[in-house]
Structure 1
Amino acid sequence: MGESRGPDNITPSPRVLQTEPSGVYPSLSEAGLSAIEMAISDGGIDLADELWELDGFVASCNLPDENAAAEQLFAPQPSQNTVAPSYHRSPQSANKPGPNRLYGVDSLASPATSNSGDMSSGIFLEKGRGNSQFFGFTSTAATIALCIRQATDTHHRLADSESLRFIMDCSPMCDEIPCPELNRHAQPQALSSTVAAQLFFEDYHAAHPILHRPKMDVLLERYICHGQQSLSPLEQSLLYLVTALAASSRPIMGSSKAVDAGNLYALALALFPHVVGTPSLDSMQILLLHVLYNIHWSKWSIAWVLCGIAVRVGQALGLHRTSPPELGLEQSQPKLRARIWAVTLILDAHLSMNQGRPPGCQQAHWDSEIFANLKVAELQWPLSEVLRWRVSLALIQQRLNLAFSSVATDEERLRYLEELDAQLIQWKEELPPEFQPEQQTILEGDAHIDIYRLHLDYFNLVQMIHWALVNHGPKAREFIAPRLRASESICLGACLALHDRWARSDHFITAMGVIYRDIAQHPEKLSARTNLEYLRVIKLHLQRMSHQHLLSASLTALFENMVKAAEEAIQDSSVDDQRDE
């Protein structure tokens, strides 16, 4: 999928314009500031409509070979020097009595029962002792649960009672922060932290410009010269989180020992009372770093909770309002405040849809003027515009979240979905033509990573809107948008075009469920064989890219059983066709 560039073959990254002198830190070498850059092949993500017209042809195909698909799509991945977090079960989950139980799967696609409207359906996970967890209709858990249930209605080889156990097994691993042994003496090396800051600005700044580079440079210089004791608790927390995030993404070159990201995060977590004790702009930045770290490690529910705290802190600071001149803000602060609120909105929109829960931010609750100028001037074009494009997309995503977390009738919810689909088309058409989804994007450097991530968010939203139309719209086939079936393949194409570092396992799991459902319901179609190939590839990709704590035995078994059941459905359909002949 790409080639790694070692220390002897370094090209400067075009992502961040260097506005500060490069010789601030005498301990840094040019090689030390470099890191392995994984190049993504410019794969077109426009899967032609002809793919879905294969059903009209009469042909016989052997089932695709799983290993061959893997060899074609996956190149060997370089090992990293990052020590992954230790995911021990928390004391709360260790003491839970009895097995967890799921409720509400049968009602996920049920129509409203009241003329005045209802809340949309969702799943409740019983956790014992009065505790529970809720996953709404748009959540990853509810989507795959509904896919399995609907597939079971027509294809009985995959029993949903056992298949949905992964939701219960993954809950403590994905929705609780672990409590590892805390080693307060394992402070990050000065070189590691400095390189990590460089990597953070390269990898995260375009999509999440929440830090002020000059201020970060001053903090690092103080840490290098005077050590940890020169930093306040908030500054220490910021340093731990930036280093942990960068080390979790890719190797930190030049470090004499592996970076223990898990221990660094535990150190930051121990300082959490200082973060929420006195709300400030610094605490907002730290909260958002907590959110990004937990998203990276697939802890979506905890990330959603932390993002909700960030929303409240931001509102307490007035980030949702236009700052009056009387505040006497420094020249750079109004833009930084707007960026931080914009990133909070983006993360809240994504996590709320991922969990199927109400968003913390609502468009009616902030001044529209604060987003008048979101250009990130220190970045080169087109990266300077990525934040503005992502905010516009997040606004559509928030409206979808509200449609499924508010009381509404079926007719009202259907009208919302139609409007959102039109808004999404308009959003795509307002992008520069060369950066629009479904177009081949050719960019030099790393800019294509953030553009592909933008495409991934777009396709995931297309998929969810049309998935909702399938389950909440009229049953008349002619009503369904003509690109409905193709939107699933386009979303998958965008996922496979991304490097593992940027892919999200929640997107892949959702896509796997939808494709399995389509095969189970229509195994006689020739396109089912193509879908089976995708299903196999997603399974392999999830096994390769997912963090090991996410791959519980039940989730791994689910992947295997879905592929096996899809193979059997296609084989049985072929046998039936031969008998008919």
Structure 2
Amino acid sequence: MYIRKNESRGHYVGLGSVGATLAICLTDGLKSQQLPLKSDGLDFLIEAGPQVDEAGLSSLFDITSQELPSKEAATKCIQAFFECVAFFFPIIDRDIFMSRMEMMYTPQRPRLNALDYCLFHLVVSLGALVQRRTSTQTEDMDRIYLSSYQKAWTMMSDALASPCETSLQILILHIFIHTKSGREGFAWVLCGLAIRVAQSLGLHQKSPTDMGFSERRIILRSRLWCILFGFDSSLSLVQGRPPGISSGLYDKDISYLDDSQSESPSGPPSRAQMSNWWYKLSQIQNQYCALMQTKHSLVSRLDSISEANQRLEVWKDSLPSSYRPDGTILVSPENYWHVVLLHLEYFNFLRTIHLAGTVLRLSCSGVAHQNSSEYQASEVICVEAARCFIKTLNR
């Protein structure tokens, strides 16, 4: 059940919730008495939303008095963000963001809220992080990065006080920053929080047809879920921890990732197709991480590892030959780095699978296992996958 608060906000509750139970009892009771449901009959659910799903606290920050970087520096950082970060992870709608960003440096600034400021500081800090690797003014970029991120971090409670899609965008950007800064463990923790926010907004379910969401918003919601799901699967793999959500607990409409939507079937893969490859790989990672956290026997775990390895092989073979990780990358320049990142994820996953297979096979040294011969070469494959990862990274 999706409960709409206003034109831009709403939240999801399951059929087992107290609110849904009351709504079902009310509607069933009216039907049994052959009475119509009044237009305001379920207003109690809408009115209860802020009480149940929001913190009920207002911001203590005087956001309009915050010091901002110069407009010139901010513009450079924002451009770097959209060229180098959003190009791979389209978390933010550029047109909407830019229209709000322009207000930061005009008399309209008081119209902006804490979410706008938090998103602005995150984008600027990430752009500065990119710029300091290429700019000659590294000290200035370091200062902008640290200052902007500190402001964004101190405002995160405001971003979560009334969860919405922008709150989720903010969390995903925090996850990205900590992942790229080598703090994958903390990024994994933030993933768990972000998944809860996404579920409260109903992003794990198909968008309700009667909610009147625009196609642009439906695509954004699907995209945010896919990006978050990918981060959670990858970070769970890296940390050896359970994923934030199991494969059977979501029913997301990802039709915008459908292979059939390619504009030119004979040409290079579309961005949607490449996102589809990522999503399918994330699904295999998610199931593998969940299975490795179970209390199954060693033999059962070896069976699960074998299944994951087979699924990974099928996934690799489904890619066009020039995009597969076992050969030379022969793709267009605009797709090159997408493919490199995909290959890095593949090789790390392959290494993880065969390292686990090697360790568990040694633990099962006295146990008869039907697939034990399959893992006799796991040591070699594990080392080769690590070598390929480093080789790809050095490109």
Which category of TM-score, normalised to the shorter sequence, fits these structures?
0.7 to 0.9
Structure 2 counterpart of 1:258, from 134, 140, 143: 140
Q: What corresponds to 1:318 in structure 2? A: 202
Are the structure 2 counterparts of residues 306 and 429 from structure 1 closer, same or farther at C-alpha, using a change threshold of 3 Å? same
Structure 2 counterpart of 1:491, from 362, 386, 393: 386
Q: Is the 8 A contact 1:238 1:286 kept in 2?
A: yes
Are the structure 2 counterparts of residues 499 and 242 from structure 1 closer, same or farther at C-alpha, using a change threshold of 3 Å? farther
Q: What corresponds to 2:151 in structure 1? A: 267
Q: What corresponds to 1:443 in structure 2? A: 331
Q: Deviations over 1:186-227 (max 9, x none)?
A: 522222222222222222234322111211121222224347
Q: What corresponds to 1:211 in structure 2? A: 92
Q: How does 1:171-190 map to 2 (within 5 A)?
A: 186-190=67-71
Partner SS state of residue 244, structure 2: coil
Q: What corresponds to 1:431 in structure 2? A: 319
Q: Is the 8 A contact 1:383 1:450 kept in 2?
A: no
Residue 442 of structure 1 deviates from its aligned partner by 2.3
What TM-score results when the alignment is normalised by the length of structure 2? 0.73
Q: Which runs of 5+ in 2 are unaligned?
A: 1-64
Residue 291 of structure 1 deviates from its aligned partner by 0.4
Distance (Å, rounded) in 2 between the aligned partners of 1:416 and 1:444 = 36
Instruction: Tell me the amino acid that sits aligned with residue 289 of structure 2.
Output: N
Are the structure 2 counterparts of residues 372 and 386 from structure 1 closer, same or farther at C-alpha, using a change threshold of 3 Å? same
Distance (Å, rounded) in 2 between the aligned partners of 1:208 and 1:365 = 24
Partner SS state of residue 258, structure 1: helix
Distance (Å, rounded) in 1 between the aligned partners of 2:137 and 2:108 = 17
Distance (Å, rounded) in 2 between the aligned partners of 1:210 and 1:495 = 28
Residue 492 of structure 1 deviates from its aligned partner by 2.6
Q: Is it true that 1:397 corresponds to 2:285 in the alignment?
A: yes
Q: What corresponds to 2:36 in structure 1? A: none
Are the structure 2 counterparts of residues 254 and 332 from structure 1 closer, same or farther at C-alpha, using a change threshold of 3 Å? farther
Q: What corresponds to 1:573 in structure 2? A: none
Q: Is the 8 A contact 2:78 2:127 kept in 1?
A: yes
Q: Deviations over 1:331-367 (max 9, x none)?
A: 2011110010011110111111222221112210111
What TM-score results when the alignment is normalised by the length of structure 1? 0.51
Q: Which runs of 5+ in 1 are unaligned?
A: 1-183, 501-581
Structure 1 counterpart of 2:257, from 374, 386, 399: 374
Q: Is the 8 A contact 2:350 2:385 kept in 1?
A: no
Q: Is the 8 A contact 1:321 1:366 kept in 2?
A: yes
Which deviates further from its counterpart, 394-403 or 441-450?
Answer: 441-450
Q: What corresponds to 1:137 in structure 2? A: none
Residue 326 of structure 1 deviates from its aligned partner by 1.5
Instruction: Tell me the amino acid that sits aligned with residue 498 of structure 1.
Output: L
- Give the number of aligned pairs: 315
Are the structure 2 counterparts of residues 493 and 408 from structure 1 closer, same or farther at C-alpha, using a change threshold of 3 Å? same
Q: What corresponds to 1:539 in structure 2? A: none
Which deviates further from its counterpart, 485-494 or 307-316?
Answer: 485-494
Q: What corresponds to 2:354 in structure 1? A: 466
Q: What corresponds to 1:480 in structure 2? A: 375
Distance (Å, rounded) in 1 between the aligned partners of 2:334 and 2:382 = 26
Question: Which protein, 1 or 2, shows the higher relative CO under an 8 Å CA cutoff with sep ≥ 6?
Answer: 1
Distance (Å, rounded) in 2 between the aligned partners of 1:289 and 1:377 = 28
Distance (Å, rounded) in 2 between the aligned partners of 1:478 and 1:308 = 38
Q: Is it true that 1:295 corresponds to 2:176 in the alignment?
A: no
Distance (Å, rounded) in 1 between the aligned partners of 2:183 and 2:165 = 24
Q: What corresponds to 1:506 in structure 2? A: none
Q: Deviations over 1:12-62 (max 9, x none)?
A: xxxxxxxxxxxxxxxxxxxxxxxxxxxxxxxxxxxxxxxxxxxxxxxxxxx
Q: What corresponds to 2:5 in structure 1? A: none
Residue 295 of structure 1 deviates from its aligned partner by 0.7
Structure 1 counterpart of 2:190, from 306, 309, 314: 306
Are the structure 2 counterparts of residues 250 and 490 from structure 1 closer, same or farther at C-alpha, using a change threshold of 3 Å? farther
